[in-house]
Amino acid sequence: MNLKEKLLLGPGPSMVDPRVIEAMQQGMFGYLDPDFMNVLDDLADKIKTVYGTSNVTMAIPGTGSAGMEAGLSSLLEPGEKVIMCVYGFFCERMVDMAERIGASVIPIRADWGKPFPAELLEKEISKHEKVKMVTAIHGETSTGIKQDLKQLSQITKNHEALFMVDAVTTLGGTNIEVDKTGIDYIYSASQKCIGAPPGLSPVAISDAALDSIRARKTKPSSWYLDLSLLADYWGEKKIYHHTTPVSMIFALHKAYELLLSEGLENRFRRHEANAGALIAGLAKLQIEVIPPDGSRLNQITPVWIPEGINDDAVRSKLAADYSIEIGKGLGDFSGKVWRIGLMGESSKREYVLKLLSALEDIFNYYGFEIASETATRAANEYYESSDLKSSATDSQF
């Protein structure tokens, strides 16, 4: 296999620190090996720290979508009401999943590319009796929107429902305070801001949510993603469920270790600095960022593709001539939007400048008259002027 490595600046997977890759050299262990159980326990603790929770935590043996499905299929019985705040591609995926398991789904659809207005939830939830759960996405990767969760959580609690949150894109790059916010089930993915390869989904589940699974009248439709069975393996009982993906666990454990060594605050500031510099540079290329200020994720920056520029041609040229991968638009945004991800190891000053320089070249190639280094100079000026300067470089802590 002769593979050409690329700089990954899309929606994930992101680049992975060599020490995380190295951790997979640890070799193989049985799924009930006492030494390996210590690794699982320690990983569960680290997951708690980063989520800011004392809830039960674990890593589900699948990608972020497995974490999504584990929550919906474990926490909802057929016919139970779930109100879903919908403002992007992955919100729609949640709706699809919830419908498949036979829940009574009440979607509230709002504009893509703007934060979801909490008053819509208040209005809708007041119309229904016995809503079991409300769902939201902290950072919609399809639109780059950072959703405020506090108000949604408060409304949900006022109506005695469970609150389920997708943190696939935000975890490790934006502060999440699960306990303070009041989140009953939250899931993420290993390959974005956490900095491990894809394949595991770190989750946290409240006692109220676990109790509601144990009180179900019917078993969850999924055995593989049954959160109560998974919790019995990760918890004190250590009851065999599946054969744990050992190598991936070692990688995820190392990635959490590196994340905590860098420090959460430092990591958040690094993501903020690099996104800011990227946007300063993009402005010089007349590339407009979609999310409004204040609701913008630092992890992923979706932009409108300028008129006269062909989506596929530019992304192909970036990949072929510059070995850089950026993300395309999904769903309603297909062909209209690029998504530039600066997540985890991919959030580095060096990479921001490399991408801006490549875009300058390509835009000139397509007849836009961009003076040399216009965009990179703007990014560098941003770094130098910003009080985030010291956080702007890489994660070689």
Q: With the C-alpha atoms ordered 325, 331, 336, 337, is the resulting torsion angle positive or negative?
A: negative
Q: Is 223 in the site for its own copies (CB under 8 A)?
A: yes
Q: Is 19 in the site for its own copies (CB under 8 A)?
A: no
Q: Is 388 within 8 Å of 274 (Cβ atoms)?
A: no
Q: Is 27 in the site for its own copies (CB under 8 A)?
A: yes
DSSP reduced 3-state for 22: helix
Q: Contacting its own copies (CB under 8 A), which of 52, 117, 182, 198?
A: 198
Q: With the C-alpha atoms ordered 7, 13, 19, 22, is the resulting torsion angle positive or negative?
A: negative
Q: Is 243 in the site for its own copies (CB under 8 A)?
A: yes
Q: Is 268 within 8 Å of 62 (Cβ atoms)?
A: no
Among the listed ranges 25-33, 110-118, 293-301, 365-373, the one in contact with its own copies (CB under 8 A) is 25-33
Residue 160 main-chain phi, psi, to 5 deg: 55, 40
Q: Is 173 in the site for its own copies (CB under 8 A)?
A: no
Q: Is 244 in the site for its own copies (CB under 8 A)?
A: yes
How many residues at the interface with its own copies, by CB under 8 A? 70
Q: Is 215 in the site for its own copies (CB under 8 A)?
A: no
Compute the least distance from the CB of residue 3 to its own copies, in Å: 5
Among the listed ranges 154-162, 194-202, 231-239, 279-287, the one in contact with its own copies (CB under 8 A) is 194-202
Q: Is 219 within 8 Å of 278 (Cβ atoms)?
A: no
Among the listed ranges 97-105, 206-214, 267-275, 356-364, the one in contact with its own copies (CB under 8 A) is 97-105
Q: Is 133 in the site for its own copies (CB under 8 A)?
A: no
**Which of 132, 191, 155, 177 shows the shortest CA–CA distance to 341?**
191
Rounded to 10°, the helix 227-234/64-75 angle is 110
CA distance 225 to 140: 23
Compute the least distance from the CB of residue 88 to its own copies, in Å: 15
Of the two residues 242 and 389, which places its CB atom closer to its own copies in the complex? 242
Angle made by CA atoms 224, 175, 132, in degrees to the nearest 5: 45
Of the two residues 15 and 162, which places its CB atom closer to its own copies in the complex? 15
CA distance 75 to 73: 6
Q: Is 267 within 8 Å of 338 (Cβ atoms)?
A: no
Q: Is 172 within 8 Å of 259 (Cβ atoms)?
A: yes
Compute the least distance from the CB of residue 175 to its own copies, in Å: 24
Q: Is 321 in the site for its own copies (CB under 8 A)?
A: no
Q: Contacting its own copies (CB under 8 A), which of 245, 374, 386, 394?
A: 245
Residue 126 main-chain phi, psi, to 5 deg: -70, -20
Of the two residues 144 and 341, which places its CB atom closer to its own copies in the complex? 341
Q: Is 100 in the site for its own copies (CB under 8 A)?
A: yes
Q: Is 217 in the site for its own copies (CB under 8 A)?
A: no
Q: Is 326 within 8 Å of 338 (Cβ atoms)?
A: yes
Residue 262 main-chain phi, psi, to 5 deg: -65, -40
Residues contributing to the site for its own copies (CB under 8 A) = 1, 3-6, 8, 10, 12-16, 21, 24-31, 33-36, 38-39, 42, 61-66, 68-69, 73, 93, 96-97, 99-102, 189, 191, 197-199, 219-225, 240, 242-248, 250-251, 253, 319, 325, 330
